[in-house]
Amino acid sequence: MCRNSIDNCCDWIDTKIDDGTFLPVVNGAHSCMRQIGRLLVYFVYAISFFLAATSFFIILPYEQLYKSPYLLVVLSIFGFYFLINIQFHYYKARTTKPVANPGQEGDSFCEKCNYWKSQRTHHCSVCETCILGMDHHCIWINQCVGSHNHRHFFLFIANLTFAAGTIILAGYPSVYDHIFMETSEHTFCTSILHYAPLQNYICDYNELARTSIVFCYLLSAVLFLMVGGLTLWNVYLISIGFTYIDYLRHSDLKRKPGYRNRLNKGFWMNWKNFLGLRRNRSFFNYVILPRTLPPLMYDNFAKNDAFDLIV
């Protein structure tokens, strides 16, 4: 009897979805997601500014008590490099519109867009458009991750992971001294720091240095675990030539006899095409340095083969 009640409830929900009863609720939820996404963009900039300011004006100057000036210079260079790359790729990931491929007559038909869509195109209800090579809708950039901006999104989270890891490794003495202040010989406000131009201003506010260091370190640890996990997941998907939606679709297909993964071109070719390393483009100039690339086709592109589009 309980099972029949659940089945009847599910049937009722399906009916209401089909006849459009819940459409205002769904549209309201999508509109809410877009508004929250706009706020989260400012939140990301605020967090990145806080991490950079704390690292450069408090943690690095304090680390002169434990590290040589040469190592501090190296850490500063890496810090500026990560900061520039994070800001560049985040800006490009959130402002570069993924390619919306309408497809050709005879392809799948999108009833919401009222047009044809290719096999690697997925409709995003939040963005209200079809996205070629869609990976997922990311609320942190307030748009979809797909063709043309997927590369920027990946390089953004990869650089953020490395930056957070650098703070964790380099800032351990700082956070240790300021968590256990009662037993520490030094703190930011009780030490003579020659490379701390803002020390007097920061120490005018009680507990600001300690709070900033501890919060910066804990936030970096959270980002390293969460964003690092997302980065590793993307590394795996890129290595096999998948987006997340491709992965979901092919999880069921691969159980069928005669299944062939047409997306996987091999480990090196998958990465080469994802990063746009064609036409003698070097890894240093187009990956290490922040660069913008147009969407490209695979080297071994087969005509009318929608599976060969780079994402």
CB atoms within 10 A of CB 311: 28
Residues linked to residue 143 through DSSP beta bridges, in sequence order: 138
Residues 6+ apart with CB under 8 A from 212: 50, 54, 58
Q: Is the dihedral angle over the CA atoms 55, 61, 67, 72 positive or is it negative?
A: positive
Nearest to residue 79, comparing CAs of 54, 105, 104, 47?
Answer: 54
Q: At what angle do helices 23-54 and 69-95 cross, to 10 degrees?
A: 160
Per DSSP bridges, beta strands 121-124 and 143-145 are: unpaired
Q: What is d(CA 261, CA 238) in angstroms, rounded to the nearest whole number?
A: 14
Q: What is d(CA 299, CA 293) in angstroms, rounded to the nearest whole number?
A: 16
Q: What is d(CA 195, CA 62) in angstroms, rounded to the nearest whole number?
A: 8
Please give the chain's pLDDT, 311 residues, in tens: 455 555 455 444 445 444 455 556 666 777 788 889 899 999 999 999 999 999 999 999 999 999 999 999 999 999 999 999 999 999 999 999 887 666 677 678 888 888 888 778 888 888 888 888 889 999 999 999 998 899 999 999 999 999 999 999 999 999 999 999 888 888 999 888 888 888 899 998 888 999 999 999 999 999 999 999 999 999 999 999 899 998 888 776 665 555 566 778 889 989 988 998 877 888 998 899 998 876 554 444 444 444 454 44
CB atoms within 10 A of CB 307: 16
SS3 per-residue string spanning the chain = CHHHHHHHHHHHHHHHHHCCCCHHHHHHHHHHHHHHHHHHHHHHHHHHHHHHHHHHHHHHHHHHHCCCHHHHHHHHHHHHHHHHHHHHHHHHHHHCCCCCCCCCCCCEEECCCCEEECCCEEEECCCCEEEECCCEEECCCCEEECCCCHHHHHHHHHHHHHHHHHHHHHCHHHHHHHHCCCCCCCCCCCCCCCCCCCHHHHHCCCCHHHHHHHHHHHHHHHHHHHHHHHHHHHHHHHHCCCCHHHHHHHHHHCCCCCCCCCCCCCHHHHHHHHHCCCCCCCHHHHHHCCCCCCCCECCCCCCCCHHHECC
Supply the pLDDT for residue 135. Answer: 92
Give yes or no for a contact between 241 and 261, defined as CB atoms under 8 angstroms apart: yes
**What are phi and psi for residue 124, nearest 5 degrees?**
-100, 120
Supply the pLDDT for residue 302. Answer: 42
Cα-Cα-Cα-Cα torsion 84, 85, 88, 89, nearest 10 degrees, comes to -160
Q: What is d(CA 210, CA 203) in angstroms, rounded to the nearest whole number?
A: 10
Supply the pLDDT for residue 78. Answer: 96
